[in-house]
Amino acid sequence: MKLSDLGAAGSRLALRFPELTLDYAGLAAASGAVAEAVAGKRRVAVYASARPHTAIAVLGAIAAGVPVVPLNPKLGDRELTHILTDSAPDLLLCAPDEGGHIALDRHEVDPAARASFTEPATDSEDPLFIVYTSGTTGAPKGVVQPRRSLEATVSGLAEAWAWTAEDVVVHGLPLFHVHGLVLGTLGPILLGGSVHHLGRFEAEAAAEALTAYPSTMLFGVPTMYSRVAEAVEADTGLAGRFGAARLLVSGSAPLPASVHKRITAATGQQIIERYGLTETFMNTSVRIDGERRPGTVGLPLAGVDLRITDDAGTEIGEPGLVGEVEVRGPNVFREYLNRADATAEAFRDGWFRTGDMATRDPDGYLRLVGRRSTDLIKSGGYRIGAGEIENALLEHPGVAEAAVTSEPDEDLGERIIAWIVSSASPASEAELIEHVASTLTPHKRPRVVRFRESLPRNDMGKILKRSLG
Ligand code: MCA
Ligand code: AMP
């Protein structure tokens, strides 16, 4: 992506946020000022609030060839320290009124800044992002994504959805994860279209944005669509506004077939689902002209090799049989930062093991049916490891033993449950929830805490999570 190419789009609208709109010339010039400031750095952190500053910062760093570590603004102390220690960025990019608690040199992003910048030559294997994501145990790992992954995903989706410069994407997704940042912000910009970010997601605001400007596509996680389903059933005016969109796209977690059908009944729109991971960006999607079958995530995108394997790693060719999804292609990450052990474990014969279990319909459509480990939870579209929450809980003086599981939740998909044996100085449910929210991040907090006298264990002393209840 060249800033000079962005600038050539001149007065076309690039970004619309509640606080500011920016055309392509303005975006290229403001990003140019960031690029000048970060040129030659090894790595930068971006305080990824849902504001235009994040988009400008990320584009500037990409133009300068400097890898970006997006930071969730709500990170608690322990998780923030882990990410900063592990990734060791040279600089923090943030809005002037943000990030004061982060002990790094800072560059304040100014959307009104104007600079032109000559971009250095880059290689498609150069790291673009280091995005932190949870595993089943331990602290989050930094996923090193090269420049080619962005290119592969955006061009694959553009082809599958007939996504062009004419499209305006509306969303209210966080900008510190792949969905909101890569698909929802860089995608439209790379294609010369526009982004309309709502600041935060509300069904009413999304409906307004879809028709007021107008916009053409809505991106969201299933929790957002479940809230849209409620809103459109209660208000037929809203239903018409969602019906006017060119495409409603869901991803990051399973979209319940019931939500898909409720939205179709109210709006006449059938949601398109696509499937990816932080480690792979996007793997599959239902195509614009393909059947939108609830419960399926469509076909591999151009350039993506996907197979389903049994425990021994042998490909399962037959439709209907369950196995693990493995992926190979230009969209797949390079490595976990500083974790050669975890990187080696994640690949088998050059294929990345997603941990997702799936079957294929006879026509090749992929149907995700679960995960290899129940210790990876998806709540509100966020990937959360049971182990990291257990570790945080065990550090609290009120906790003697802890186990974390999940339960189905109408709104969040899954909700986090903490099972606790108290110490001699017990803590309340609210204290433990707040402890996790403030040391890790609020979306990792248990929604329910259940106190027990003891936890069921096998002969080896391992907690039997399936016996909890
Ligand atoms: C709550 N809050 C707190 C606390 N409790 N703040 C501080 N201390 C606390 N103890 C804040 C939360 O941070 C949040 O603020 C607000 O109160 C409401 O919290 P919560 O109930 O957790 O949020 P919600 O309203 O239930 O959010 C639902 C949501 C959200 C909007 C759907 O879960 C969401 O944005 N999900 C998107 C996840 C996502 O983008 N995943 C993509 C991963 P505030 O609202 O200000 O934050 S990428 C991926 O999966 C792959 C690649 C893919 O395929 O896309
Ligand atoms: P993350 O690392 O946060 O990017 O989460 C990736 C995980 O999200 C995948 O391994 C899947 O389990 C899940 N996921 C993403 N998209 C979908 C989808 N459309 N349907 C079901 N699960 C999905």
- The answer to whether the CB of 224 is under 6 A from ligand 1 is yes
Residue 256 is encoded by which pair of tokens? 């319940």
- The answer to whether the CB of 381 is under 6 A from ligand 1 is yes
For residue 90, give every residue at least 6 positions away whose Cβ sits within 8 Å of its Cβ, in sequence order, or none: 41, 42, 43, 44, 104, 105
- Name the closest-CA residue to atom 9, ligand 2: 277
- Whether 63 and 32 have beta carbons less than 8 Å apart is answered as yes
- The answer to whether the CB of 253 is under 6 A from ligand 2 is yes
Give the three-class secondary structure for 397.
Answer: coil
Nearest-CA neighbor of 446 among 401, 423, 399, 414? Answer: 414
SS3 per residue for 209-242: HHHHCCCCEEEECHHHHHHHHHHHHHCHHHHHHH
Residue type, 469: G
- Name the closest-CA residue to atom 17, ligand 1: 442
214: cis peptide before it, omega within 30°? yes
- The answer to whether the CB of 280 is under 6 A from ligand 2 is no
- Whether 295 and 261 have beta carbons less than 8 Å apart is answered as no
Rounded Cα distance, 127 and 433, in Å? 36
- Whether 265 and 239 have beta carbons less than 8 Å apart is answered as no
- Whether 378 and 221 have beta carbons less than 8 Å apart is answered as no
Question: What confidence score (pLDDT) does residue 1 get?
Answer: 66
- Name the closest-CA residue to atom 50, ligand 1: 252
Rounded Cα distance, 265 and 232, in Å? 10
Angle ∠(343,382,389) on CA atoms, nearest 5? 75
Complete DSSP assignment for 24-74: HHHHHHHHHHHHHHHTT-S-EEEE--SSHHHHHHHHHHHHHT--EEEE-TT
Closest-approaching ligand to the CA atom of 202: 1
Rounded Cα distance, 372 and 357, in Å? 6
Give me ligand 2 centre to Cα 278, in Å. 8
Rounded Cα distance, 252 and 5, in Å? 31
Q: Residue 120 to residues 63, 190, 211, 323: CA-CA distances in angstroms?
A: 8, 18, 40, 44
- The answer to whether the CB of 149 is under 6 A from ligand 1 is no
Rounded Cα distance, 376 and 386, in Å? 6
- The answer to whether the CB of 275 is under 6 A from ligand 2 is yes
- Whether 157 and 274 have beta carbons less than 8 Å apart is answered as yes
Give me ligand 2 centre to Cα 221, in Å. 10
Give 33-60 pLDDT, tens digit per residue.
999 999 999 999 999 999 999 999 999 9
| Domains in the chain: boundaries | 3-122, 185-333+343-370, 380-467
- The answer to whether the CB of 329 is under 6 A from ligand 2 is no
Rounded Cα distance, 60 and 382, in Å? 27
Q: What is the pLDDT along the chain (469 residues), one digit of tens a residue?
A: 688 788 778 899 999 999 999 999 999 999 999 999 999 999 999 999 999 999 999 999 999 999 999 999 999 999 999 999 999 999 999 999 999 999 999 999 999 999 989 999 999 999 999 999 999 988 999 999 999 999 999 999 999 999 999 999 999 999 999 999 999 999 999 999 999 999 999 999 999 999 988 899 999 999 999 999 999 999 999 999 999 999 999 999 999 999 999 999 999 999 999 999 999 999 999 999 999 999 999 999 999 999 999 999 999 989 999 999 999 999 999 999 999 999 999 999 999 999 999 999 999 999 999 999 999 999 999 999 999 999 999 999 999 999 999 999 999 999 999 999 999 999 999 999 999 999 999 999 999 999 999 999 999 999 999 999 7
**Which CATH number is associated with domain 3-122?**
3.40.50.980
For residue 317, give every residue at least 6 positions away whose Cβ sits within 8 Å of its Cβ, in sequence order, or none: none
- The answer to whether the CB of 383 is under 6 A from ligand 2 is yes
Q: Measured from the CA of 174, which atom of ligand 1 is nearest?
A: 40
- The answer to whether the CB of 251 is under 6 A from ligand 2 is yes
For residue 107, give every residue at least 6 positions away whose Cβ sits within 8 Å of its Cβ, in sequence order, or none: 34, 37, 38, 91, 92, 93, 94
**Which CATH number is associated with domain 380-467?**
3.30.300.30
3-state helix, strand, coil in the chain (%, to 5): 30, 30, 40
Q: Residue 64 to residues 33, 39, 114, 117, 240: CA-CA distances in angstroms?
A: 10, 5, 16, 8, 44
Question: What confidence score (pLDDT) does residue 4 get?
Answer: 76
- The answer to whether the CB of 276 is under 6 A from ligand 1 is yes
Give me ligand 1 centre to Cα 443, in Å. 5
Give 401-455 pLDDT, tens digit per residue.
999 999 999 999 999 999 999 999 999 999 999 999 999 999 999 999 999 999 9
Tell me the CATH class for 185-333+343-370. alpha beta
Domains 3-122 and 380-467 share a fold: no
- Name the closest-CA residue to atom 11, ligand 1: 442
Give me ligand 1 centre to Cα 445, in Å. 11
Rounded Cα distance, 214 and 24, in Å? 18
- The answer to whether the CB of 356 is under 6 A from ligand 2 is yes
Closest-approaching ligand to the CA atom of 325: 2
- The answer to whether the CB of 282 is under 6 A from ligand 2 is no
Q: Measured from the CA of 277, which atom of ligand 1 is nearest?
A: 52
Give me ligand 1 centre to Cα 223, in Å. 10
- Name the closest-CA residue to atom 53, ligand 1: 252
Sign of CA dihedral 227, 432, 370, 157: positive
- Name the closest-CA residue to atom 22, ligand 2: 253
Pocket test for ligand 2, best of 285, 378, 382 (most atoms within 8 A of CB): 378
Give 259-298 pLDDT, tens digit per residue.
999 999 999 999 999 999 999 999 999 999 999 999 999 9
